[in-house]
Structure formats: C-alpha cells, structure tokens
Structure 1
Amino acid sequence: MDPVVSTAWLADRLRAPDVRVVDGTWFMPAERRSGRDEYLQAHIPGAVFFDIDAIADRATDLPHMLPSPEVFAQEAGALGLPREADIVVYDTHGIRSAARVWWTLRAMGYPKVYVLDGGLKKWLAEGRPVEAGEIFPRAAALEPILDPALVRNVDDVRALLVSGEARVVDARSATRFTGETPEPRAGLRSGHMPGAANVPWEQVIAVDGTLKPADELKAVFKAAGVDLGKPIVTSCGSGVTASVLALALARIGLDRTPVYDGSWTEWGGLTDTPVVIGA
C-alpha cells in the first residue's frame, strides 16, 4: 500500500474511531523553532504531538535515537495510539520529520502507519480546520515490540560496507556528502561512508511539498546510481531525512528498507569509522 494518504482522505475520516492523527513536527536546533509550541498554536483536530527528542533513548548523547520497546510502548500508549488503528502522521514542512515518526512507529510494530502527503502546509492551504491547545487522549495498552529488520546500528553498517550486502543511500546535501561544507553539528568529521550513494532528501519531494510519484522516484534513485533490485540502508545526519528516503522507497514497493538510526552524527563522531572526502 502507498505509505502516504491525501488531505482529502484524512478529512473524510478525521473523526473515525479507527483513525489516529499525529503531529510529528521537529526542527533542527539552528532553526530556532519549537515543534511543540507550533503544535499548541495550531494542529489538525484531534492530533497528538509526538516529540522525537523526548520519545528517545536518554542513555545516549546521540539525538532522538530509538528508545527501548518497553519505553516506547509506555510513551505511545500514553498518546492513545493503539496498534490496530490507522495512524496518520504529518508535520508543518510538508514531508520531513513526519517520515521519522512513520518509520519509528513501524519499527515498533505498528502495521498501518501513513504520512499525510503535503502535511499541515497543504492542509491549511486547502482551508481545512485546525484547533489549538493540548490534547488528552485515552491511553492505550501496548505490548513492547521491535521489528529489527527496519533498524541498523553502527556495527551493522560496518559489516555491510565490508560485505557489500547492501548499499548505503545518504540523504544529506551533496556538499555535506562530499565534505565541501562542514556538518551542522560540532565535532563531526565531514564526508561520507565508502561506497555510499547520495540522494539529497529534497529530491524525492515535489515543489508542492508532496512525495513525488513512483516513476519519478525511481528515476531519482537510478540517477544516483542506486540499484533498486538490491538491499538498501538509508542514512542522513541523525536519522530524520533518512526516513524520508525510506518513505520514498516504500512508495515504489521497497517498504522494508531499514534506516541507520545513528546516521552521520554517530558515524562522523567516531574516530575509527572509514570516511571518504569528495564525490
């Protein structure tokens, strides 16, 4: 099934008992904006706020790493997100951080998760309703589940670079990938993993903020030298836009693509991981 749903689809089902809406807005620190603050000002009616920095592993200094399945079950349960519901995630960008929440929920055992195509930006442009303030949902009881097939860690990536069993596809900008511009997070080396391909995440998003059609997405990946018939692992700066690439790959039928959770914040912050400078 397509991993995105239209604004019209959601508007028709907004009050359905089997649908839950999640605001997954997140900003880079340099943007000096708060996803939660903007959620409180205006969100799709009934939406709960999913904070990727709060629902995360607190034992690491890496940003918004997946928490344990047990912690996640408690947090998602408190947000009133039962696994049998249709979960629709959006953000204010169009499609960016919503994809990270989409991937997180799927990795934690949710079978029916979708991203709102065009996000809140498109919703508002169409004159659809919003509300302000906090939502207090009825809690859901959840069993801890983790789908390890959707997650890769640093040791997994080290191994696949040696074996060649999968291709890393990096969602960062071309100049960050080549090392021409420094990383926005201090203390990280510049460059990319040996053998990685570069598909800057904006290339899979149309000018109106929606996900490009499947045929255009295939062309984007093929232009970057990515063989869509072989296993892929997506990566980026901190696992957010890597999830955008995973979403795009799901649209073209590769819906089990794993994300390297630590991404370049972890890889570039280590001293013993191989790094390539240049194209």
Structure 2
Amino acid sequence: MSADDPKTLVSTQWLADHLKDPDLRVIDASWYLPDMNRDPKAEYDAAHIPGARFFDIDDISDTLSDLPHMAPSPEKFMSRLRAMGIGDGHQVVVYDGNGIFSAARVWWLFRLMGKTDIAVLDGGFGKWQAEGREIEDMPPILRDRHMTASRQAHLVKDVTQVAAAAKLGDWQIVDARGAARFRGDEPEPREGLRAGRIPGSKNVHYATLLNEDGTMKRGDALKAAFTQAGVDLDKRIITTCGSGVTAAILSLGLEMLGHRDWALYDGSWAEWGQFEQLKVETG
C-alpha cells in the first residue's frame, strides 16, 4: 500500500496538496471522553483546517437509543451530510484533535453507509498545526449536495451476534480499551457498568497502533500490534471498546493491513457491561 490511500489514511502533505480540489470535503470529527476536559465544538470554532465541517458524533447518531452515539439510520446520515454540503462524488478526509482518535469512528460510519471515498488524516489536527499549515476560524459556505447511502450490514455487529461469536469462537473479539479496564482492575468511566471483558476476547489497546506523534504505524509494526496480542490476522475479527469509538481505530488498522473480514460491535462495553445475563471475564 502506498503511503497515502484516499480510502484509509492520508498524510498532512497529501491533504495540503489537495485542499483546494473542488470535490474534496474535510470533516472535523473531534470528540473527547469526559475526563479529557475538552470541548470539541469550541475548539473547532476557534481553529480548524480551511473548509472543514464539524461532525458531531453524538448528534449524528441514533438518538432514540439509550446507548451512546450508536450508528444513525441511513436516512438520518444522508440528511445530515447533505446539509453539511457533503454528498456523492466527494472525496472526504476526516480528522480530530487528538491524533487519531474519534476520526476513525466517522471513517467507519461512512463505510457502514457504503461510502468508501473517505480517509483519516494521519496525525490529525495536532500534526497539521505543528507543521505550521493553514487554519481558519470561519465556518465554510455550505451548498446542498445529493447523497445516497446503502447500509453495509457486514461491517457492524449487535449484542446477539457478539454473544454468539463469544460462545462459538467463530470470530475473534478484539478489545481496544486499556489493559486495566480489559482485566477489570479499574472501574468503567460510565456508571452502572460491570468491570471486565467479553469472554475469550483479546486486548489490543488502540494506542499500540499509533506512533508517538499520533500517526498510524505501518507494515510490520502495525501487524505486530495485533499478532503480539495473540490475534490471528487470517481469521475473522470483531472490534470492540468502551462505546464504539476507539474500536474503529482497530478496524482502520485492519483495513490498512488488507484484512477485509472484520466488523465493529457498535454497542461495545457500554452495552455488554450493563446486562447481568451476559458473561464477563476478569483478571
């Protein structure tokens, strides 16, 4: 794979070279955990990559669900993206303010909706700023663009499917949370959730896929992040995490490695951890 792939990951230089392309659209998908004490919309309003639209992960979701930021219906996705001036025929680049964190979730969401011309900005807004590249604080002028979506059901799993996979062992379940949460040694940040992990799952903390500057590892180094955790890259994989955000970083990494037989557990631990009838492993 080349260093830049407009369907997975592109460099800041690639984006700078293509920023004025008429059919390029940039999305700021910054989202933070409560303990990060950051306001993504306020940061976007203060400074963003020229032309970037702000994508609110919590708003462009299934707001009828009790679970956080579950994937929206294709109809809602199309409606919101059209209003943002993003539609068919656009190449999309998505970034966030934390290297690679929440941007991968939006990459997965586009893929779930059948949109493949989307890439994550490697290193995110922090790398863009560190290189002294152009920023602005003005919102873009939006023009409605026709958008179609077709949900790709094979890219997502629900709790019933994950429970079956855990029981049968026909999928590997790979958890992106930190090791202490995976073992159940520390409490979950969301109230009312048990500590621990899905039985039989393996732990690949999302940060092990990243370099110190927030960029994604490549080649053998990226592969090793999975294989050293006991993941067989020749078998089917379900990615999971706390609420379906950092699991998408694992999905992005798998896609970059050419692994196509993966799906993301959208409910993740926010769902699994609340149901007493679902088994939990610790230790």
- Structures share fold, TM-score greater than 0.5: yes
Q: Indicate the residue corresponding to 1:6 in structure 2.
A: 11
Are the aligned partners of 1:246 and 1:255 in contact in 2 as well (CA < 8 Å)? no
Q: Indicate the residue corresponding to 2:190 in structure 1.
A: 185
**1:140 partner letter:** R
Q: Which residue, out of 106, 113, 119, partners 1:114?
A: 119
- The answer to whether residue 262 in structure 2 is matched with residue 248 in structure 1 is no
Q: Indicate the residue corresponding to 1:33 in structure 2.
A: 38
Secondary structure of the 2:25 match is: strand
Secondary structure of the 1:88 match is: strand
Are the aligned partners of 2:195 and 2:273 in contact in 1 as well (CA < 8 Å)? yes
Q: Deviations over 1:223-275 (max 9, x none)?
A: 10000000001000000000011111111111452110000000001121110
Q: Indicate the residue corresponding to 2:227 in structure 1.
A: 222
**2:129 partner letter:** L
Are the aligned partners of 2:237 and 2:261 in contact in 1 as well (CA < 8 Å)? no
Secondary structure of the 2:262 match is: coil
In 2: Cα distance, 1:126 partner to 1:276 partner = 44
Q: Indicate the residue corresponding to 1:59 in structure 2.
A: 64
Q: Indicate the residue corresponding to 2:157 in structure 1.
A: 152
- The answer to whether residue 208 in structure 2 is matched with residue 203 in structure 1 is yes
In 1: Cα distance, 2:173 partner to 2:141 partner = 40
Q: Deviations over 1:102-141 (max 9, x none)?
A: 1001101111110000111110111100000322311122
**2:226 partner letter:** F
Q: Deviations over 1:66-101 (max 9, x none)?
A: 011111110111111113211100011110000001
Q: Which residue, out of 125, 142, 145, partners 1:140?
A: 145
**1:134 partner letter:** P
Q: Deviations over 1:9-53 (max 9, x none)?
A: 000000101211100100112222211111110000001011100
Q: Indicate the residue corresponding to 1:72 in structure 2.
A: 77
**2:111 partner letter:** R
In 2: Cα distance, 1:13 partner to 1:102 partner = 19
Secondary structure of the 2:174 match is: strand
Are the aligned partners of 2:114 and 2:152 in contact in 1 as well (CA < 8 Å)? yes
- TM-score where L is the length of structure 1: 0.97
Which contiguous aligned blocks of 4+ residues in structure 1 show a shift greater than 2 angstroms?
133-136
Are the aligned partners of 1:83 and 1:111 in contact in 2 as well (CA < 8 Å)? no
Listed as ranges, the gaps of 5+ residues in structure 1 are: none
RMSD in angstroms over aligned alpha carbons? 1.1
Q: Which residue, out of 160, 170, 188, partners 1:165?
A: 170
Are the aligned partners of 2:244 and 2:266 in contact in 1 as well (CA < 8 Å)? yes
Q: Indicate the residue corresponding to 1:126 in structure 2.
A: 131
Q: Which residue, out of 160, 176, 183, partners 2:181?
A: 176
Cα displacement (A) at 1:165? 1.5
Q: Which residue, out of 102, 109, 113, partners 1:104?
A: 109
Secondary structure of the 1:22 match is: strand
In 1: Cα distance, 2:38 partner to 2:117 partner = 30
Q: Indicate the residue corresponding to 2:237 in structure 1.
A: 232
In 2: Cα distance, 1:68 partner to 1:30 partner = 29
Q: Which residue, out of 12, 15, 24, partners 2:20?
A: 15
